[in-house]
Amino acid sequence: MLPPPSEDRAVSIITRQERGALVLTVSGDLDIDSVPPLGRALETAAAEGSGPVVVDLSGVGFADSTTVNVLLQGQTALGGRLRLAAPSPFVQRLIGMIGLDSAIPVLTDVDEAIDATLPS
């Protein structure tokens, strides 16, 4: 059995409104045990809002296939409203390896993601 995650690996999601967009700033390691709050945040955003939803991944040290699945489910619910921003080097490699950027826009930073005009 694996030990419980240490505090420095705990996932945090800080939600804020910025210039008409909902920004979810995610930090920590995302895996099967820690990714459900991100899924719930994306579901809530789909149900309650109408503007862009930006997931700031700059503070994510690790992500796995369950994270990819949650993001794809978010894209299904949010469509062109979902944007990923500032992925950490690990997450950027994951995105590149699986081609996630062909399904969900990945932008350099939060400001660019908020301001981007994307096809619907």
Q: Mind listing the pLDDT tens digit for each residue in 11-40?
A: 999 999 999 999 999 999 999 999 999 999
Other beta carbons less than 10 A from residue 114's beta carbon: 19
Whether domain 11-115 has CATH 3.40.50.720: the reply is: no
Mean pLDDT of 47-63: 95
User: If you ran DSSP here, which 8-state letter would residue 12 be given?
Assistant: E
* Among 47-51, 76-80, 100-104, the least confident range: 47-51
* pTM for this model (two decimals): 0.90
pLDDT at 7 over 90: no
